[in-house]
Amino acid sequence: MNKIKLFVMAAALVTCTTASAQFSNTGTRNNQRTSRTAMGGGLDGNGPEAGYKGFAELGYTIKVGDYGSGRLAFSTTHGYQFNEYLFVGAGAGVSYFTESEDCGIPIFADVRVNFLNNSISPFSDVKIGYAVSSVEGFYFNPSVGCRFGFVNNLALSVSFGYELHMFDYYLWYCSWHVDHYDTYKSLEGKRNCGGLTMKVGFEF
């Protein structure tokens, strides 16, 4: 009987000691996590929520290269936020080329990755598709930026990237006849009117 009492007392003592140690460790980890968050080194858990998500972006492209062209651009993207990090969707936009006064309408698939589950997080974004209208051709726009989250899953973003926008390049020719000129154009192939992009976005 005495052996049983001793065994029970020993088991109770070990259980209490283990529970106390676990509680102490848990408290220490929580305090460390709270301290890191307060210092800006942790994750505040305020990244985007899973579900439907939309984006609206306004930006300008600075021309690069011999065939580059400056342009104003607006685009909207809609899709699904799988978790705090990954968004996949599709969208369309309008690009107004300020020099030639032409217009392009890119239609694209979009993948965006947030690097942190934070209200403030860097991200990368890749749009790939095809542009129609007067400037028609392959469209590709990778960019990086920073997301600034607010309440109700709303956020603002600033991003910088490069836009590849292919188009048909023509040369015009003139020929003199006895009483008039003939003019015609020749397709010289595809060219890239690419440029550096700067965008401000709204996430909803």
**5 pLDDT more than 50:** no
Name the residue with higher pLDDT: 159 or 11.
159
Please, is 57 exposed, middle or buried when counting C-beta atoms within 10 Å of its C-beta (0-12, 13-18, 19+)? buried
Q: Which residues pair with 59 in a beta bridge?
A: 73, 199
- What integer best gives the mean pLDDT of the chain? 80
Report the run of H or E that residue 26 belongs to, with start and end: helix 2-38
Using one digit for the tens of pLDDT, what is the confidence trace for 73-93? Answer: 999 999 999 999 999 999 999
Name the residue with higher pLDDT: 3 or 153.
153
- Among residues 57, 63, 90, 53, the alpha carbon closest in space to that of 75 is found at 57
Using one digit for the tens of pLDDT, what is the confidence trace for 101-159? Answer: 889 999 999 999 999 999 999 999 999 999 998 889 999 999 999 999 988 889 999 99
Rounded CA-CA distance 40/87 in Å is: 25
pLDDT score recorded for residue 126: 98
pLDDT score recorded for residue 29: 41
pLDDT score recorded for residue 48: 93
Name the residue with higher pLDDT: 119 or 174.
119
Please, is 66 exposed, middle or buried when counting C-beta atoms within 10 Å of its C-beta (0-12, 13-18, 19+)? exposed
Q: How confident is the model at residue 44 (pLDDT cuts 50, 70, 90)?
A: confident
The helix/strand/coil state of 3 is helix
**198 pLDDT more than 90:** yes
Contact 189, 169 (CB under 8 A): yes
86 Ramachandran zone, left/alpha/beta (phi>0; psi -120 to 50): beta
Supply φ then ψ for residue 37, to 5 degrees.
-65, -45
pLDDT score recorded for residue 45: 81
Name the residue with higher pLDDT: 17 or 47.
47
Q: How confident is the model at residue 11 (pLDDT cuts 50, 70, 90)?
A: very low
Rounded CA-CA distance 1/5 in Å is: 6
Q: How confident is the model at residue 19 (pLDDT cuts 50, 70, 90)?
A: very low
